[in-house]
Amino acid sequence: MNQPASAKALLPLLLFLSLFLGVGVYFQVTGVDYAFYQLNSPVAILPAIILAVLLSKQAFEERINTFVAGVGERNIVTMCMIYLLAGAFSTVAAATGGVDAMVALGLNVIPPQFLLPGLFIIAAVVSTAMGTSMGTLAALAPVALGLGQAADIDLALLAGVLVSGSMFGDNLSFISDTTIAATRTQGCAMSDKFKANLKIALPAAAITLIWLFTYDTGAVPPKIPEANLWLALPYFFIIVLAVLGLNVFAVLTLGIILAAAFGMVTVDYQWVAFSKDIYEGFTSMQEIFLLSLLIGGLSALIRQQGGLQFLADAVGTVTKRLFKHKQQRAAFGVAGLTALTNFAVANNTVTILLSGEVSKRLAEEGDLAPRQSASLLDIFACVVQGALPYGAQALLMGASFGLSPLEVSLHTGYCFILGGVSLAMIIWRKPLESRASNTATA
C-alpha cells in the first residue's frame, strides 16, 4: 500500500542525480572528454536503490518485492525488448551499408547552395530511420566535416545543424528509445504520439529550414560516398510499416530480416556476420536496458513511499497558480518537469523514464490525452538534450569537429525553435486534446 505524499521519498532520486551530475561536473572541470559519461548511469543508480530500500517502512522482504515488481513491470519489460530489437536493426543495417546508402541518397539530390538545409534533412531522415541521434551523428560527422571544410562553412554552425536534424528524428522515430519510453509510460500508441508530435515538429522544422536557407554555402560540389542505394530501402520499409500501425515487434523483426537479405544479395553479407551483428546490436543497448530495469525498481520504491505523489502535488500547485485552464496546467507541468529533469541528468531517455509516471498523473488530472503528454515528454526531453553543452550529442560533435561543446550547443537552432513553437502552441491551446478524444491504446 502506498504511503502519503512525502518529500523524503525523493532523496534516493536526488542522490542518483547528484552522483550522475556531480561526477560529470568534476570530470568536466578536470578536462576529461565525455565527462558526463565517465560514471555509467546503471552504476550511479545503485546507491540510490540502496537508500530507497533503507528508507522504506515496509518489512525487508516486502521492500525487495516492491523493487522486483517495479523491475518486472510490463511496460518496463516491453521497452527493454524493443530496445534489443532496435539495436539489432541499427547494427545490421549499418553493417550491410544502409547508412552509407542513406547518406549517398540524400547527397545525390542536394544542390551545393543548399548544403545546410540539405544536411539538416539528411540528418532528420537518417535519425528517424535509425532511431538514434548518436548513431546518426557518428555516421554523418565525417562526411559533413569534409563538406564543411571544402565549402568554408562555419563548423560550429554545421555541427549544430547536424545535431538539430538528429534530434528531429530522435524525437519522431518509431524505434527511438525516447519514443518507446514516452508512449509506454503514457499508455498510448506510437502512431498517435507520432501524429501529435508532427503537428509541432513540422512547423518548427519549416522555420529552421527557412533560417538555414538564408546562409550562402557557395557552389562547392559535395563528395558523395560510394554506396548501393538499394540498401536504403529497409529504412523506408520500417517507417512505412510503422506509420501503417503494424506492431513494433513485427516492424523491427521484419526490418532486421530485410536489411540482412539485401546485404546478402548485394554485398555478400554472411550468416555468421549476421548473427554476430544481431548480438552486437543487443549489447549496444546494454546501458539503457539495465538502467530501464533499475529505474523501474527505484520508481516503484519511490512511488510506494509517496515520493511521486509529492512531486505531482508540487508541480500541480505551481501550475495551478500560473494557469487557469486545466489542460494548459497539465501541459506546462509535463513540459517543465521534463525540462528540469533533463538539465539534471543530461540524457533524454533517462529523463522520460524518471518523469513519465508523474507526467501521466498530471495529464490524467488535467484531462490531457495520453498522446499529448507523450508528445510533450519526448519534445522537451529532446529540446533540452540537443541544447545541452554537456549532452552526449554536443560532446560527440565537439570532439569530431575540434570545437567546444558549448559552441555546438549554441548553434542547435532547431532545438530552440522546437521549444518555442511547443510553448506557443500550448499557450494558444492548439495541440491540446482531452483524454476522451484519445481512443487508442498502447
Name the residue with cell 534489443: 84
Cα(101)–Cα(378) distance, integer angstroms: 28
pLDDT band at 22 (very low <50, low <70, confident <90, very high): confident
At 180-200, the pLDDT tens digits run 889 988 988 888 899 889 999
pLDDT band at 430 (very low <50, low <70, confident <90, very high): low
Domain locations along the chain: 307-436
Name the residue with cell 532496435: 86
Average pLDDT of the segment spanning 42-50: 93
Instruction: Read off the DSSP letter of residue 59.
Output: -
pLDDT of residue 114: 83
> Per-residue pLDDT for 116 more than 60?
yes
pTM of the predicted model as reported, rounded to 2 decimal places: 0.70
pLDDT band at 441 (very low <50, low <70, confident <90, very high): very low
Identify which of 244, 304, 214, 259 has the alpha carbon closest to the alpha carbon of residue 88. Answer: 259
Instruction: Pick the more confident residue, 243 or 138.
Output: 138
End-to-end CA distance of the chain: 26
Angle between helices 177-186 and 155-172 in degrees, nearest 10:
40
Dihedral sign from CA coordinates of 341, 342, 346, 348: positive
pLDDT over 70 percentage in the chain: 89
Identify which of 25, 11, 165 has the alpha carbon closest to the alpha carbon of residue 102. Answer: 165
Instruction: Pick the more confident residue, 433 or 252.
Output: 252
At 367-419, the pLDDT tens digits run 888 999 999 999 999 999 999 887 778 877 887 788 878 889 999 999 999 99
Q: What is the phi/psi pair of residue 389, to 5°?
A: -70, -20
